[in-house]
Structure 1
Amino acid sequence: MVAISFLFLVCFFSFHLHAVAQPRNSTIRLGSSLTPTTTGKSAWLSPSGLYGFGFYPQGNGYGVGVFLAGVPQRTVVWTANRDAPPVPRTASLVLTTDGRLILQSPPRRDVYIVTDASQKIAAASMLDTGNFVVFNSDEDIIWQSFQYPTTSILQGQHPSAGMELFSSVSETDQSTGIFRLKMQHDGNLVQYPVDTPDTAPYSYWSSITDGKGDNVSLNLDNDGHLYMLNSTGFNIKDLNTGGYDDTNRTIYLMKIDSDGIFRLYSYRLDRNGNRSVIWSSTSDKCAPKGLCGLNGYCVDVDREANCICLPGFAPVIEGNFTAGCERNFSSDSCKSDDGTIQYTIQAAESTVWEDNGYSEVTSTTREECDTACYEDCNCEAAMFNDGKCTKQRLPLRYGRRDLSNSNIALIKSCFQIQKVFYRQQHKIVRDRCSYFV
């Protein structure tokens, strides 16, 4: 009797362990749905449970996308309709019986998650690669998230010529940020600010592979090897040589972060998802152009980026340095007793900016450059460097402090804001542009 009971227990536990070890069925059938609430199912998981497709918290509501679900630090790797406003807890994600994947959030119109599938959807699946795919009735993949990267590249994903990644606003806001990474048709992988031409003056990092092949792709292997291949499969550049743990205990993820730096991360699944940076495009956090917004410049403080407004300017949004800076005075506040406007010049030394000058003055001294800007009603700032004076209009952008550079940004500011300071250190100059009032 004891032997029979023991055999029964062995069989029971063997069956139980086998059932636990079985991968879940990741096929998402027509009619399936998700809701962001804890009482309902909020994500469709991959067979191992590592990745999920569904709702994640964003702002005062939820977004929809692919995220690392198998680690405590939930990391979003792909976002659907990323610039749409967050949806409320009453929203639902539905794979309809007529083959549409839509987000329902009354009273808004239904939003399509998959907009360009070549055929009607018959089923979908969240794969263990992090790729969310949809199938037709013949079980052929007709759409996949890997073809439309947002911020990240996963193992086995191969962005080819013309593809771009865009940073997010922040770690908690997946809306489109202010930096982009482009795999160019000339074979070069380049980082730029958003809304700029694909030209060298706007680049702040490059793989320096232009002209080394056509239809170049970016590749990430299971051992952390990050590299670029041309159309013949020839390796034209190793960004990171890899050679790390290539077992299922570690996964690798490449991302353009909200601060504009392109990083390669490792996640140790056997250490509670511990995340490490194993490569980055730069260690200089002031390198990304535009990090401090308009009329602000970046200063490296203990290897961290710190944004400072130009003299006479204040942050547009306190605590959000990418929003830039605006003048903290008006023409009215600069009036003297007789109604004319009084300005002076303040300097931001050893700073570099985008060159957007409208007039170059032959000048030998900084004082002469000051005077040239004083006497020009259109001049709001000037750049003085090695005897060269260039008049500028506002806003100034892409500013950063560079102690090895002798450039001085000369900013026309309201005299009355700092009258005590100016009486001590500057002569009073009465601006003749009183018609601005």
Structure 2
Amino acid sequence: MEPRGCFNCIKSLCFFALLVFELCSASTLYVGKIYPGFEGSQMNWIDRDGLFLQSKNSVFALRFYTSLDVNLFLLVVIHMKSSQIVWTANRGLLVRNNDKLVFDKNGNVYLNNATSVVWSTDTTGKGVAAMEMQDTGNLVLLGDNGSILWQSFSHPTDTLLSGQEFVEGMRLKSFPYHNNLYHYLEFKVGDLILYAGYQNPQIYWSMSTDDRRPPTKSMGRSPRLP
């Protein structure tokens, strides 16, 4: 074999080996925690249906989830056994399969599309040391001492999980129906209020006016779910 042909053969083999290495490393499934310097898109975990971080006992996981449009994705926490989505990062601002989730060296976690940041934890400079998917379904950012600096439980979307508090100022909002109508439940000024989300939201139900509610002295922090 001529030297040039041999060189081309070796170059092709090296390229193939590098490609295999990249594919294998890209599809790594992380368990428990990931750390600053992490980044990836749905394409990196296409062989795992976008799933890249699961809790220690495989109860919940963080993944890219295909929406009704197979070219667009949500970043979600999902209950593994039921496949039920319990939290969504970028509802209404979906990303494509090459858009990246980044956990940067400054401790901020954010999701980019082609032109802008569509979701962020806004934790730059707060001493974040790790991101953990917990078996409770809570996605948390931890400091060096293990303290929680940010958590998905403080930013619910349409689901409450066991042990998650629903306190004044929080809101649960349904996905829009086909006519863009949605409902949201809000804990506001000591009352629990359900709104129908028209252009001008209308109160559909409130606990303070419901004769079926049990007598209470006052309303404050919501009780933990059983």
Alignment TM-score, normalising by the size of structure 1:
0.39
Cα separation, partners in 2 of 1:32 and 1:120, compared to 1, 3 Å: same
Cα distance in 1 for partners of 2:173, 2:217 equals: 24
- One-letter amino acid of the structure 2 residue matched with residue 26 of structure 1: G
Q: 2:8 matched to which residue of 1? A: none
Q: 1:58 aligns with which of 60, 63, 67?
A: 67
Cα distance in 2 for partners of 1:96, 1:123 equals: 11
Question: Which ranges in structure 1 are unaligned for 5 or more consecutive residues?
Answer: 1-23, 222-437
Cα separation, partners in 2 of 1:161 and 1:110, compared to 1, 3 Å: closer
Cα distance in 2 for partners of 1:169, 1:56 equals: 17
C-alpha contact 1:183 1:216 (8 A) present in aligned 2: no
* CA shift for structure 1 position 211: 6.8
% identity of equivalent residues: 25
Whether 1:32 and 2:38 are equivalent positions in the alignment is yes
Q: 2:188 matched to which residue of 1? A: 184
Whether 1:140 and 2:147 are equivalent positions in the alignment is yes
Taking CA–CA contacts closer than 8 Å with sequence separation of 6 or more, which of the two structures ends up with the larger relative contact order? 2
C-alpha contact 1:67 1:78 (8 A) present in aligned 2: yes
Cα distance in 1 for partners of 2:128, 2:204 equals: 40
Look up the SS of the partner of 1:192 in the other structure. strand
Cα separation, partners in 2 of 1:33 and 1:81, compared to 1, 3 Å: same
Cα separation, partners in 2 of 1:51 and 1:158, compared to 1, 3 Å: same
Q: 1:90 matched to which residue of 2? A: 98
Cα separation, partners in 2 of 1:127 and 1:177, compared to 1, 3 Å: farther
**Displacement over 6 Å in runs of 4+:** none
Question: Which ranges in structure 2 are unaligned for 5 or more consecutive residues?
Answer: 1-29
C-alpha contact 2:52 2:62 (8 A) present in aligned 1: yes
- One-letter amino acid of the structure 1 residue matched with residue 217 of structure 2: K
Alignment TM-score, normalising by the size of structure 2:
0.71
Q: Aligned ranges for residues 142-157 of structure 1 at < 5 Å? A: 142-157=149-164
Cα separation, partners in 2 of 1:182 and 1:130, compared to 1, 3 Å: same
Look up the SS of the partner of 1:203 in the other structure. strand
Instruction: Give RMSD over aligned pairs.
Output: 2.7
Cα distance in 1 for partners of 2:175, 2:182 equals: 8
Cα separation, partners in 2 of 1:217 and 1:177, compared to 1, 3 Å: farther
Q: 2:225 matched to which residue of 1? A: 220
Cα distance in 2 for partners of 1:217, 1:177 equals: 27
